[in-house]
Structure 1
C-alpha cells in the first residue's frame, strides 16, 4: 500500500478517512479475483468473525464458513460447550443450511417461536430423520397455539435430491414458486436450501478443512490454565487457536505464546493437522513484531474498533483502525 503522490498522513486515520484510488488492472470481473488468504487458515474470503459472545457462535460459524470465512468461538464459554459447537459445525453440510426440525406433535406456538431463528422462515416436521412436511409462519396464522403442527403443515412440498447442482436447485425453487426446500438423500434429511443460499453457493467457495468439513476457530485467554484449555481446544478439532486479551502487547501474552505454539506443534506432529495460532490485540508495529517473535502465526489488530466495544470511549485507549 502507498499513499497518493507519496504523501504520508500526519495523523492517524480511520477507514472513513480514506478511499482506494483505482489503478490500471488486467482484471475484468470481480469473479476473477482470488480472495483466498495465504495464512494457512483455509479461508477463501478475508473475513474472520470476532470471538465475542454477542457475535460469534455455532450458527454464525456455520454461515460464515459456507461463504468462505471463519468464526472463532469466544474464550468465556465452557470447554464442553465449545466442543459441542465445534462438533455441530463439523457435522453441518458445507452447502445445505441446517434446518429447524420439529416433531409432528410439537405445538404451533412452539414452532412459531422457533421460526425466527432461521432466515428461511419455516420449520421442517421430521420423524426418524425423514421430512414429513413444512410449516411456515403463514400456516400458523390464526391457528390455536396449542394445536399440533401436523394439523397445519404442508405435506405437498418440493424435495431436492442430494447432489443436485446449485443452479438446478435454484431453478426448481423458482419453478415451484417456493423459497425453501429440504434436501434429502433417499428419505434422509440432509438440510435445506433456499433461493438465496443456492445463488450464493455459485458465488462463494466454502472454507473447509482437509476432510471437507466447515472451518471453525476457538479462543483462549491468557489467565488460568491456558495450556490445558489450549490442548483441549486442539483435541476437539478447532481449526484456529486464538490467544486473546484486550491488550495483547504485554509480558503475560509473550510468556504464554511459546507454550501454546509448542502444544500446537506437538499436536501437528501427532495428527498431521496444522492449526494456526492467532494472538492479539495490538495496534502498533512493535506489538505485532513482538507477538510474531513470541510464536504467533497471525496477529489480531485493533483496540476498540468494534461497534459494540466501548474501550475507546470509556478508557481513551486505542488507535484509529486504518492506521493500526
Structure 2
C-alpha cells in the first residue's frame, strides 16, 4: 500500500446505503387503481409466486401452518431445518396434501385398521377422511408406500382395491382403540366413485363437474378409481371450495400448494434433501450464514448433481458471491447478511453490507443469468419491500414481520398487558443450544457458542392473511406511484433519490402526538 495515499484511498472504501437512505421518485402514472398492479414473480428458476413474499426458514416462523397459509395467499413458506429429517419431511407432506382439486395420494387404510392407528394418522397428516382398501396389511406400511404426493408413481406399484371410505363423522362414533374401520366405514356398494382412465388425465372432469356430482348425491368426498376398482385419487368439497375462496393461491400443476424447505451444509444435508424430495418439496434452500464459501458452493454442486430440484443458495451480499453460486448451479440467490431484526452478525463479526447497496451489487449478476434474487432482511415496512423489488429483487423474505402471526409455530405469551410471540434468531444462543441437544449433547458447552442473533418477543399480529394484505397493498401503492403495472416494469422505470437523516425524519410521522 502506498503510504502517501493512505488506507481509505487505497481501499476505495464505498458508502453503504440501507432502504432508509433512499426514496423512489414519484413519476407519471396512468394507473387508475392499484389493483391494476400485478405482483406475480419467481422464487427460483421453476417456482413461481403470485405475491413476492416468502417466509423465512426460522424455527419461530415457518412450519406446516405458516407454509400452508403463505402458499394459500400467493407466497411461499420455507420450512426450517431445526428438527429431525422425519419431522421436516412430514411437514412438507402436510403442505402438499393440504389443497388440491384432485388428491392423487390420499391416505389409504385397511379394513383391519383400528381407532388408535387412525388417530395417529390424523395427527401426522391432518387428514380426517381415509379411503379403505381390500389389502390386508399393516396400515403404516400402506401409508409409507403411498407417501409421495406426486401422481407419477402411484397405482403402477400399489394395486389398492377400493373397499369403502371412512370420514370424520364415522370416526367420531369409534370409542375404543381396538374398534376396526370395517365396522364403521361406508362400504363400497354405497360409495359414490368416479371411474377414470389414468392414461387420459387431460380429459378428467373439472372441479365444477365434481361439485355438481357431490350436490346431486349429497356427498362431500368422491374417490377416483379405474376400471379395475383400483384407487387413483380423492376429490373433496372442502378442497374444491378453497379453489374459489383462494384464487391467488400458489399451486403447482396438480393443484397442490408450493412449499420449500431448508437444508444445511454439513452432516445430514444429502440425506435430508432426499427425504424432502421424496415428500414432494418444490425447492430446497441451502441455509448457511455465509453463502459465499467453498462449503456452500460444494453443497450446491452436490445437490444439483444428485437431484432434479430447484436449489436456492445464500446468504450472500456481493455480486461476486452470487456469480460463484450461480455457476455452481443455484436456481435462486438469497441476499442479506446481518440486516435482520434479531441478527447481530455485523456487530459480532464486523461483516456485512447494508441491504440496498448489497442488492445494487447482486441484482445485475442475477439478471445477467436470469436467476431470481431474494432480498432477505431489512424489510421493516411495505415501502422497503417495494424498494427491494424496484432495485432488482424478485421477492422478499420475511421473518419478524410474519413471526407474530397466528400461524407461526412460536410460543404465545402474555406480557406487558398484551399478547406477544417468542421470536429468535437461528444463530442465537437458544437456537444453538436446541441444536446441540437435538444432536445428542446432554449438557452442551455454552462457552463454545458464539451467538450472532438474539431472542425476544414481538406483538401478536393475528391471522397471516390480514398482514399479507397490508404488505401487498403497500407494494402495489409504490408501484402505482412509479406508473408500473408489474415488478419488471417497476425495475425499468424506478428512479431513486438519496436522502439525508432529516429527509428520513420528514418521511415518518412527526409534529403530532399519536393516539
When the two structures are superposed, what TM-score results if normalisation uses the length of structure 1? 0.62
Q: 1:214 to 1:316 in 2, by over 3 A?
A: closer
Question: Is the 2:70–2:76 contact (alpha carbons within 8 Å) kept by the matching residues of 1?
Answer: yes
Question: Is the 1:278–1:297 contact (alpha carbons within 8 Å) kept by the matching residues of 2?
Answer: no
Higher helix share: 2
Corresponding position: 1:45 with 2:50: yes
Corresponding position: 1:111 with 2:154: no
SS in 1 for 2:164: strand
Cα RMSD after superposing both structures: 5.1
State how far apart, in whole Å, the 2-side matches of 1:316 and 1:147 are: 47
Match of 1:241 in 2: 284
For each residue in 1:169-210, what CA deviation from the matched residue of structure 2 results, as whole angstroms up to 9, or x when unmatched? 11111211112222223423233211231244474676449x
Measure how far apart 1:42 and its partner are: 1.4
Question: Is the 1:160–1:169 contact (alpha carbons within 8 Å) kept by the matching residues of 2?
Answer: no
Q: 1:215 to 1:311 in 2, by over 3 A?
A: closer
Corresponding position: 1:74 with 2:80: yes
When the two structures are superposed, what TM-score results if normalisation uses the length of structure 2? 0.43
Match of 2:205 in 1: 164
Alignment coverage as a number of residue pairs:
287
> Quick check: which has more Rg, 1 or 2?
2
Measure how far apart 1:9 and its partner are: 9.1
Kindly report which structure 2 residues correspond to 1:28-107, keeping only aligned pairs within 5 A, or say none: 35-37=40-42, 39-46=44-51, 48-52=54-58, 55-57=62-64, 69-79=75-85, 82=88, 95-97=101-103, 98-107=105-114
Question: Is the 2:291–2:297 contact (alpha carbons within 8 Å) kept by the matching residues of 1?
Answer: no
Match of 1:13 in 2: none
Segments of structure 2 that go 5 or more residues without pairing to the other structure are 1-18, 22-30, 136-159, 197-203, 316-335, 342-352, 367-371, 378-397, 405-409, 411-420, 425-453, 462-466, 475-515
State how far apart, in whole Å, the 2-side matches of 1:139 and 1:87 are: 25
State how far apart, in whole Å, the 2-side matches of 1:84 and 1:113 are: 13
SS in 2 for 1:150: helix
1:298 to 368, 374, 381: 374
State how far apart, in whole Å, the 1-side matches of 2:80 and 2:457 are: 22
1:286 to 354, 374, 382: 354
Segments of structure 1 that go 5 or more residues without pairing to the other structure are 1-7, 11-22, 246-252
Q: 1:159 to 1:228 in 2, by over 3 A?
A: same
